[in-house]
Amino acid sequence: MLVYFFKKILFLLSSLFLLMTLTFILMKAMPGDPFSQEQAMSRQEHHSLLKQHGLNLSYLEQYKNYLYSTLKGDLGNSLIYQNRTVNRLIRETFPTSAYLGLQALTLALSLSLFLGLLCALKPDSPIDYLIQIVMALGISIPGFILATILQYLFSIKWHLLPIARWGTFSHTILPCLTLAALPTAFMTRLIRNNLLEVLQMDYIKTAKAKGLHPLVLLLRHALRNALLPVLTYLGPLASVLLIGSFIVENIYSIPGLGQWYVNSVTNRDYPLIMGLTLFYSLLLMSLNFIVDIAYGFLDPRIRIFSEEE
Amino acid sequence: MQRIVPRLHRTAWQKFQQQPMGMCGIYLLVALALFVSLSGFFSPFRYDEIHLIAKNHPPSLRFWFGTDDLGRDVLIRTSYGAYISLCIALATVIIDLILGFLIGSLAALSGKKTGECLMRFLDIFYSIPTLLIAILLSVILGSGFFSIVLAINLISWITMARIVRGQLLLLKEMDFVMASRSLGASSSRILFTHLLPNTWGPIMLTLTMTIPSAIFSEAFLSFLGLGIQAPMASWGTMAHEGLAAFQYYPWRLFFPAAFISITMLAFYLIGEGLKKSFNNAPAMNLP
């Protein structure tokens, strides 16, 4: 287990290093410097600004400084908004995004578990087909289109839920549904197929032959093994939710970090884009790391195979 | 001996034809392609032709899908968008196949150490969130067709390389390869007649996932305003523009959105059909 753990840690660290190098190169690949757009500025002022931000040093020195400040946890400043550091922005707006994301995650997990079980109980029945068709639609309709459809039906046509903004629980329902649609569809399919596969195994047949109730068999013996692959999907799931949050927060005007990210892209606020990209990547990579460790912990086959390699 | 390969393909195709889902996907895609090419061919309008008198005109006999805020015909713009999506899909396929094949077989067939090192290196690249890097790249490169293709495909081919490598490693140990080798077949003969033809199944399956994800990425980047710029039209850009006014002019969102969804659905169905006919699913991939 320890070997496995250290392997994964080494992997995470090298990915992080590569990521930081890549962002640095991309940042330097942009033409001009952050202050070259300002017109009313003398040469001297320009030079002192560069000096203040350490941009007059050699690339190697800048790279070293960048790595150092990033490792210290300083992700930089916004160009457009005065006195707004990336760190402060994350502190203020990320909780909203995280709340929405967790709510969608809970919904997706419980809904897909329920639907997947329902399908696997009676494979190839009408209800199985119905669920599969709905899930195929869930996979094919992009988030921004689903968001618009939901807004139109529930807010404009039937006046049931608020169309946008943030505050009470009723505000969270539509964004949460939009965000959860794609992961629910994926996981339902995953759970259904895994369950059907596991149900073919010998130990299930043994349990069945011993006269176990089908429901107990499904819940206690089959589900446990069928859920393992779902755990590996949690990494990609996090990135689906993240990308979804950019769209959902934008369409429903939710004051979360995703909204700011999209704004910074639209405003071409380069340091903000870089800082937030770094933050998001860090978040996803650490989540993947945690999932890997948990997987190795729960399924000994994985870590033994990895150690032998 | 030489007839084994085509026959193998034929049986795979026959198996695929028995999958209603997969065939549904194929029919959908063909219908879509026919509609788009016919409408492009027979339409009296050009994609950037402006009719200021008929701004935001609802669907009618003259403009089947209505017009947008500059009076451009939505139908012809939608089929032009299909052309853009097709180009992006094609570029993805080419890049995926060339790079994925080359690097994948290099990693599988070179020595164990080299292959392992190469794969670890790719793994590290692979762990970086693709779409975030794509956003960064298109911010820096500016918007345009080529920067979009580059941004989308910079990392996506790694999936293909991993699949090709895995498949080759699996096949290399199979008995029929051993038999062929003991009969004195050269390495290149084994590679081209035994190994590569047998990788097609998983490769096709991977393509049914990478193509829609490329089309989706384009739509997503366009949604952020990083996509194809006017007067060119892509489905993502059109949906993005239509979104702002959808309460008043819903057709401007509806048609491009429907086309995106139908394309995604078609590829999903084909993928499901392939999965059932090849009967071995590759690792789960991001939608």
The 10s digit of each residue's pLDDT in B211-268 is 888 888 888 888 787 877 767 788 888 888 888 777 788 888 888 888 989 998 999 8
Mean pLDDT, rounded, of chain A: 84
Residue B266 — left, alpha, or beta (φ > 0 → left; ψ -120 to 50 → alpha)? alpha
Query: What pLDDT, in 10s, does the model give residues B186-200?
Result: 878 888 888 877 888
Q: Which residue of A has its CA nearest to B113?
A: A309
Statement: residue A184 has pLDDT above 90: yes
Q: Residue B7 — very low, low, confident or very high, per pLDDT cuts 50/70/90?
A: low
Q: Residue B147 — very low, low, confident or very high, per pLDDT cuts 50/70/90?
A: confident
Cα distance between residue A306 and residue A303, in whole Å: 5
Instruction: Please give the interface size between A and B, counted as residue pairs whose CB atoms are below 8 Å apart.
Output: 111
Domains and CATH numbers, chain B: 21-35+66-280 (1.10.3720.10)
Q: What is the pLDDT of residue A181?
A: 92
Cβ B127–A288 below 8 Å, yes or no? yes
Q: DSSP class of residue B55?
A: T
Quote the percentage of chain B above a pLDDT of 70.
92
Q: What is the pLDDT of residue A34?
A: 63
Question: Residue A207 corresponds to which amino acid?
Answer: A
Q: What is the pLDDT of residue B285?
A: 36
Residues 6+ apart with CB under 8 A from B227: B143, B148, B218, B219, B221, B234, B236, B237, B240
Residue range A152-163: average pLDDT? 84
Interface of A with B in 110-169 (CB under 8 A): 136-137, 139-142, 144-145, 148, 152, 156
Instruction: Report ipTM (2 d.p.).
Output: 0.78
Q: Which residue of B has its CA nearest to A14?
A: B124
Query: What pLDDT, in 10s, does the model give residues B164-188?
Result: 888 888 888 888 888 888 888 887 8
Quote the percentage of chain A above a pLDDT of 90.
14
Cβ B264–A142 below 8 Å, yes or no? yes
Helices (H), A168-269: 169-198, 202-209, 214-216, 223-251, 257-267
Q: Which residue of A has its CA nearest to B257?
A: A145
Q: For A243, which of B120, B125, B131 is closest by C-beta distance? A: B131
Q: What is the pLDDT of residue A40?
A: 64
Residues of B with CB under 8 A from a CB of A: 116, 120, 123-125, 127-129, 131-133, 135-137, 139-140, 216, 219-220, 223-226, 239-240, 243, 246-247, 250, 253, 257, 260-262, 264-265, 268-269, 284-287
Cα distance between residue B262 and residue B266, in whole Å: 6
Cβ A284–B268 below 8 Å, yes or no? no
Cβ B224–A29 below 8 Å, yes or no? no
Statement: residue B283 has pLDDT above 50: no
The distance of B136 to chain A (nearest Cα, Å) reads: 8
Residue range A122-146: average pLDDT? 88
Confirm or reject contact between A190 and chain B (CB < 8 A).
yes
Residues 6+ apart with CB under 8 A from A294: A231
Q: What is the pLDDT of residue B225?
A: 79
Query: What pLDDT, in 10s, does the model give residues B36-77?
Result: 888 877 777 777 777 777 777 777 777 777 777 777 787 888
* A38 vs A98, residue with greater confidence: A98
Q: What is the pLDDT of residue A112?
A: 93
- Chain B residues in contact with A274 by the CB 8 A cut-off are 136
Cβ B243–A14 below 8 Å, yes or no? no
Interface of A with B in 2-21 (CB under 8 A): 11, 14-15, 18-19
Residue range B265-281: average pLDDT? 78
Statement: residue A38 has pLDDT above 60: no
Residue range A240-269: average pLDDT? 86
Dihedral in degrees, nearest 10, Cα atoms A292, A295, A297, A298: 170
Dihedral in degrees, nearest 10, Cα atoms B170, B172, B175, B177: 140
| Exposed/middle/buried for residue A34 (C-beta within 10 Å: 0-12, 13-18, 19+) | middle
Cβ A18–B133 below 8 Å, yes or no? no
Quote the percentage of chain B above a pLDDT of 90.
4
Cβ B253–A145 below 8 Å, yes or no? yes
Mean pLDDT, rounded, of chain B: 80
Mean pLDDT: which of A148-152, A217-221, A269-273 is highest?
A: A148-152
| Exposed/middle/buried for residue A52 (C-beta within 10 Å: 0-12, 13-18, 19+) | exposed
Phi, psi of B73 (to 5 degrees): -65, 125
Confirm or reject contact between A270 and chain B (CB < 8 A).
yes
- Chain B residues in contact with A265 by the CB 8 A cut-off are 135, 139, 224-226
* A159 vs B287, residue with greater confidence: A159
pTM: 0.81
B140 with A29: CB under 8 angstroms?
yes
- Chain B residues in contact with A232 by the CB 8 A cut-off are 284
The distance of B267 to chain A (nearest Cα, Å) reads: 9
Residue range A158-186: average pLDDT? 87
Q: What is the pLDDT of residue A272?
A: 85
Cα distance between residue B90 and residue B110, in whole Å: 29
Residues 6+ apart with CB under 8 A from B211: B89, B92, B93, B267
Query: What pLDDT, in 10s, does the model give residues B202-221?
Result: 888 888 888 888 888 888 88
Q: For A148, which of B136, B246, B262 is closest by C-beta distance? A: B246
Residue range A117-129: average pLDDT? 88
